[in-house]
Protein backbone atom coordinates (compact mmCIF):
# COMPACT_ATOMS: atom_id res chain seq x y z
CA UNK A 1 0.00 0.00 0.00
CA UNK A 2 1.50 3.34 -1.04
CA UNK A 3 1.38 6.54 1.04
CA UNK A 4 -1.62 8.01 -0.77
CA UNK A 5 -3.68 4.85 -0.33
CA UNK A 6 -2.79 4.60 3.36
CA UNK A 7 -3.77 8.22 4.06
CA UNK A 8 -6.94 7.90 1.97
CA UNK A 9 -8.08 4.76 3.80
CA UNK A 10 -7.20 6.15 7.22
CA UNK A 11 -9.09 9.41 6.64
CA UNK A 12 -12.05 7.59 5.12
CA UNK A 13 -12.23 5.26 8.12
CA UNK A 14 -12.20 8.23 10.49
CA UNK A 15 -14.97 9.94 8.51
CA UNK A 16 -17.13 6.82 8.57
CA UNK A 17 -16.50 6.25 12.28
CA UNK A 18 -17.47 9.89 12.98
CA UNK A 19 -14.02 10.74 14.32
CA UNK A 20 -13.85 13.71 11.95
CA UNK A 21 -16.51 16.32 12.77
CA UNK A 22 -18.18 18.94 10.61
CA UNK A 23 -16.17 21.75 12.24
CA UNK A 24 -12.82 20.02 11.62
CA UNK A 25 -10.65 21.47 8.86
CA UNK A 26 -8.28 19.11 7.06
CA UNK A 27 -5.18 20.96 5.87
CA UNK A 28 -2.50 19.52 3.64
CA UNK A 29 0.43 20.82 5.64
CA UNK A 30 -0.92 19.63 8.98
CA UNK A 31 -1.76 16.17 7.66
CA UNK A 32 1.62 15.90 5.92
CA UNK A 33 3.28 16.57 9.26
CA UNK A 34 1.02 14.12 11.05
CA UNK A 35 1.63 11.29 8.56
CA UNK A 36 5.29 12.27 8.14
CA UNK A 37 5.05 12.51 4.35
CA UNK A 38 5.26 15.20 1.70
CA UNK A 39 2.13 17.16 0.81
CA UNK A 40 1.67 15.35 -2.52
CA UNK A 41 0.19 12.04 -1.24
CA UNK A 42 -1.94 14.00 1.25
CA UNK A 43 -3.28 16.24 -1.51
CA UNK A 44 -4.06 13.22 -3.72
CA UNK A 45 -5.86 11.44 -0.86
CA UNK A 46 -7.95 14.53 -0.06
CA UNK A 47 -8.82 15.03 -3.71
CA UNK A 48 -9.95 11.40 -3.98
CA UNK A 49 -12.20 11.80 -0.93
CA UNK A 50 -13.55 14.99 -2.49
CA UNK A 51 -14.39 13.15 -5.74
CA UNK A 52 -16.16 10.44 -3.76
CA UNK A 53 -18.35 13.05 -2.08
CA UNK A 54 -16.95 12.87 1.45
CA UNK A 55 -15.20 16.26 1.47
CA UNK A 56 -15.49 19.68 -0.07
CA UNK A 57 -12.63 22.12 -0.59
CA UNK A 58 -12.94 25.60 0.88
CA UNK A 59 -10.59 28.07 -0.79
CA UNK A 60 -7.79 29.30 1.48
CA UNK A 61 -9.16 27.18 4.34
CA UNK A 62 -8.82 23.46 3.59
CA UNK A 63 -11.13 20.48 3.27
CA UNK A 64 -14.25 19.93 5.38
CA UNK A 65 -16.91 17.24 5.54
CA UNK A 66 -19.47 17.55 2.78
CA UNK A 67 -22.91 17.97 4.34
CA UNK A 68 -26.00 16.47 2.74
CA UNK A 69 -29.14 18.44 2.11
CA UNK A 70 -32.41 16.92 3.28
CA UNK A 71 -33.18 16.26 -0.37
CA UNK A 72 -29.87 14.40 -0.86
CA UNK A 73 -30.46 12.32 2.23
CA UNK A 74 -34.03 11.36 1.36
CA UNK A 75 -33.04 10.40 -2.19
CA UNK A 76 -30.25 8.13 -0.95
CA UNK A 77 -32.56 6.42 1.54
CA UNK A 78 -35.20 5.88 -1.16
CA UNK A 79 -32.63 4.42 -3.58
CA UNK A 80 -31.22 2.15 -0.86
CA UNK A 81 -34.70 0.92 0.06
CA UNK A 82 -35.38 -0.12 -3.55
CA UNK A 83 -32.01 -1.68 -4.34
CA UNK A 84 -31.44 -3.48 -1.05
CA UNK A 85 -34.98 -4.80 -0.71
CA UNK A 86 -34.75 -6.25 -4.22
CA UNK A 87 -31.38 -7.80 -3.35
CA UNK A 88 -33.03 -9.41 -0.31
CA UNK A 89 -35.81 -10.77 -2.52
CA UNK A 90 -33.27 -12.34 -4.87
CA UNK A 91 -31.29 -13.70 -1.92
CA UNK A 92 -34.49 -15.38 -0.69
CA UNK A 93 -35.14 -16.93 -4.10
CA UNK A 94 -31.50 -18.09 -4.25
CA UNK A 95 -31.30 -19.07 -0.61
CA UNK A 96 -29.37 -22.00 0.73
CA UNK A 97 -29.43 -23.49 4.21
CA UNK A 98 -25.86 -22.34 4.66
CA UNK A 99 -26.74 -18.67 4.04
CA UNK A 100 -29.67 -18.80 6.47
CA UNK A 101 -27.48 -20.30 9.19
CA UNK A 102 -24.79 -17.69 8.61
CA UNK A 103 -27.35 -14.89 8.86
CA UNK A 104 -28.67 -16.37 12.11
CA UNK A 105 -25.17 -16.59 13.56
CA UNK A 106 -24.34 -13.01 12.58
CA UNK A 107 -27.58 -11.72 14.09
CA UNK A 108 -27.04 -13.58 17.36
CA UNK A 109 -23.52 -12.22 17.48
CA UNK A 110 -25.03 -8.75 17.08
CA UNK A 111 -27.29 -9.41 20.08
CA UNK A 112 -24.25 -10.14 22.25
CA UNK A 113 -22.65 -6.85 21.20
CA UNK A 114 -25.87 -5.03 22.12
CA UNK A 115 -25.79 -6.61 25.57
CA UNK A 116 -22.18 -5.50 25.99
CA UNK A 117 -23.01 -2.05 24.59
CA UNK A 118 -20.19 -2.49 22.08
CA UNK A 119 -21.48 -0.17 19.36
CA UNK A 120 -18.49 -0.45 17.03
CA UNK A 121 -18.57 -4.26 16.95
CA UNK A 122 -22.34 -4.19 16.57
CA UNK A 123 -21.93 -1.85 13.60
CA UNK A 124 -19.46 -4.22 11.92
CA UNK A 125 -21.73 -7.19 12.58
CA UNK A 126 -24.72 -5.27 11.24
CA UNK A 127 -22.80 -4.43 8.07
CA UNK A 128 -21.73 -8.08 7.73
CA UNK A 129 -25.40 -9.12 7.85
CA UNK A 130 -26.46 -6.76 5.08
CA UNK A 131 -23.39 -7.51 2.93
CA UNK A 132 -24.13 -11.23 3.06
CA UNK A 133 -27.67 -10.60 1.83
CA UNK A 134 -26.38 -8.41 -1.05
CA UNK A 135 -23.88 -11.04 -2.13
CA UNK A 136 -26.50 -13.76 -1.90
CA UNK A 137 -28.56 -11.96 -4.55
CA UNK A 138 -25.96 -13.21 -7.07
CA UNK A 139 -26.63 -10.16 -9.20
CA UNK A 140 -23.27 -8.49 -9.78
CA UNK A 141 -24.67 -5.30 -11.31
CA UNK A 142 -27.10 -4.86 -8.42
CA UNK A 143 -24.32 -5.45 -5.90
CA UNK A 144 -22.21 -2.84 -7.73
CA UNK A 145 -25.00 -0.26 -7.56
CA UNK A 146 -25.48 -0.88 -3.84
CA UNK A 147 -21.74 -0.59 -3.18
CA UNK A 148 -21.60 2.72 -5.07
CA UNK A 149 -23.80 4.41 -2.48
CA UNK A 150 -22.80 2.26 0.51
CA UNK A 151 -19.66 4.09 1.62
CA UNK A 152 -21.15 7.56 1.35
CA UNK A 153 -24.03 6.50 3.59
CA UNK A 154 -22.04 4.46 6.11
CA UNK A 155 -21.27 7.33 8.48
CA UNK A 156 -24.99 8.03 8.75
CA UNK A 157 -25.69 4.38 9.57
CA UNK A 158 -23.07 4.65 12.30
CA UNK A 159 -25.05 7.55 13.74
CA UNK A 160 -28.32 5.63 13.46
CA UNK A 161 -27.19 2.71 15.60
CA UNK A 162 -26.15 5.12 18.34
CA UNK A 163 -29.74 6.24 18.77
CA UNK A 164 -31.47 4.67 21.78
CA UNK A 165 -33.24 1.33 21.09
CA UNK A 166 -32.18 1.26 17.42
CA UNK A 167 -29.73 -1.68 17.81
CA UNK A 168 -32.48 -3.75 19.49
CA UNK A 169 -34.92 -2.83 16.74
CA UNK A 170 -32.36 -3.75 14.09
CA UNK A 171 -31.80 -7.14 15.73
CA UNK A 172 -35.55 -7.86 15.83
CA UNK A 173 -36.06 -6.67 12.24
CA UNK A 174 -33.25 -8.91 11.06
CA UNK A 175 -34.77 -11.84 12.94
CA UNK A 176 -38.04 -11.33 11.07
CA UNK A 177 -36.17 -11.10 7.76
CA UNK A 178 -34.40 -14.40 8.42
CA UNK A 179 -37.66 -16.12 9.39
CA UNK A 180 -39.33 -14.96 6.17
CA UNK A 181 -36.29 -15.92 4.07
CA UNK A 182 -36.32 -19.37 5.64
CA UNK A 183 -40.01 -19.69 4.73
CA UNK A 184 -39.17 -18.67 1.16
CA UNK A 185 -41.52 -15.68 1.19
CA UNK A 186 -39.50 -13.47 -1.14
CA UNK A 187 -42.14 -10.76 -1.56
CA UNK A 188 -42.56 -10.33 2.19
CA UNK A 189 -38.78 -10.20 2.71
CA UNK A 190 -38.62 -7.44 0.10
CA UNK A 191 -41.36 -5.54 1.96
CA UNK A 192 -39.64 -5.97 5.36
CA UNK A 193 -36.28 -4.74 4.11
CA UNK A 194 -37.80 -1.73 2.35
CA UNK A 195 -39.73 -0.71 5.47
CA UNK A 196 -36.63 -1.30 7.63
CA UNK A 197 -34.53 1.11 5.55
CA UNK A 198 -37.21 3.77 5.11
CA UNK A 199 -38.09 3.80 8.79
CA UNK A 200 -34.43 3.95 9.79
CA UNK A 201 -33.93 6.86 7.39
CA UNK A 202 -36.81 8.79 8.92
CA UNK A 203 -35.58 8.25 12.47
CA UNK A 204 -32.06 9.25 11.50
CA UNK A 205 -33.16 12.40 9.68
CA UNK A 206 -35.21 13.50 12.69
CA UNK A 207 -32.15 13.10 14.93
CA UNK A 208 -29.63 14.57 12.49
CA UNK A 209 -31.48 17.86 12.53
CA UNK A 210 -30.72 18.10 16.24
CA UNK A 211 -27.23 16.62 16.06
CA UNK A 212 -24.15 18.69 16.81
CA UNK A 213 -22.24 17.16 13.90
CA UNK A 214 -24.10 19.51 11.59
CA UNK A 215 -23.90 17.24 8.57
CA UNK A 216 -27.41 17.94 7.33
CA UNK A 217 -28.20 21.24 5.67
CA UNK A 218 -31.77 22.53 5.80
Q: Which pLDDT score, from 0 to 100, does residue 218 have?
A: 41
Q: Which pLDDT score, from 0 to 100, does residue 210 have?
A: 56
Q: Are residues 90 and 27 in the same domain?
A: no
Contact 162, 170 (CB under 8 A): no
Instruction: Look up the CATH number of the domain holding residue 129.
Output: 1.20.120.530
Q: Helix, strand or coil for residue 56?
A: strand
Q: Are residues 55 and 101 in the same domain?
A: no
Averages of pLDDT over runs of 10 residues in the chain (218 residues) are 92 86 90 95 95 90 85 88 96 90 97 92 91 95 89 74 85 96 96 95 78 46
Q: Are residues 60 and 74 in the same domain?
A: no
Cα–Cα separations (whole angstroms), residue 17 to 115, 153, 206: 21, 12, 20
Of 28, 44, 66, the one marking the end of a domain is: 66
Q: Which pLDDT score, from 0 to 100, does residue 157 have?
A: 74
Q: Are residues 32 and 59 in the same domain?
A: yes
Q: Which pLDDT score, from 0 to 100, does residue 214 have?
A: 45
Q: Are residues 39 and 147 in the same domain?
A: no
Instruction: Look up the CATH number of the domain holding residue 7.
Output: 1.10.10.10
Number of domains in the chain: 2
Q: Are residues 48 and 85 in the same domain?
A: no
Q: Which pLDDT score, from 0 to 100, does residue 209 have?
A: 61
Instruction: For residue 12, give its domain range.
Output: 3-66
State how beta strands 62-65 and 55-58 pair: antiparallel
Q: Are residues 151 and 43 in the same domain?
A: no
Gap between the Cα atoms of 196 and 173, Å rounded: 7
Q: Which pLDDT score, from 0 to 100, does residue 82 have?
A: 96
Q: Which pLDDT score, from 0 to 100, does residue 207 have?
A: 77
Query: For the purposes of burial, counting CB atoms within 10 Å of the CB of 31, is it exposed (0-12), middle (13-18) or buried (19 or more)?
Result: buried
Q: Are residues 201 and 138 in the same domain?
A: yes
Q: Are residues 151 and 57 in the same domain?
A: no
Q: Are residues 35 and 128 in the same domain?
A: no
Q: Are residues 116 and 38 in the same domain?
A: no
Of 66, 81, 115, the one marking the end of a domain is: 66
Gap between the Cα atoms of 127 and 101, Å rounded: 17
Q: Are residues 150 and 118 in the same domain?
A: yes
Nearest CA-CA partner of 11 in 23, 38, 43, 138: 43
Q: Which pLDDT score, from 0 to 100, does residue 17 have?
A: 77
Single pTM value for the model: 0.78
Amino acid sequence: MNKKEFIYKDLKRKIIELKIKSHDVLKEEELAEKYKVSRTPVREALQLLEREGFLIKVKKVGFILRPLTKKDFKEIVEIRSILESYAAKLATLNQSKNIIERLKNINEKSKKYIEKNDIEKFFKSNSEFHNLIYKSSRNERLIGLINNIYDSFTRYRMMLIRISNIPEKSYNDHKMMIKSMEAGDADYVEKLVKEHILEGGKILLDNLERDDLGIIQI
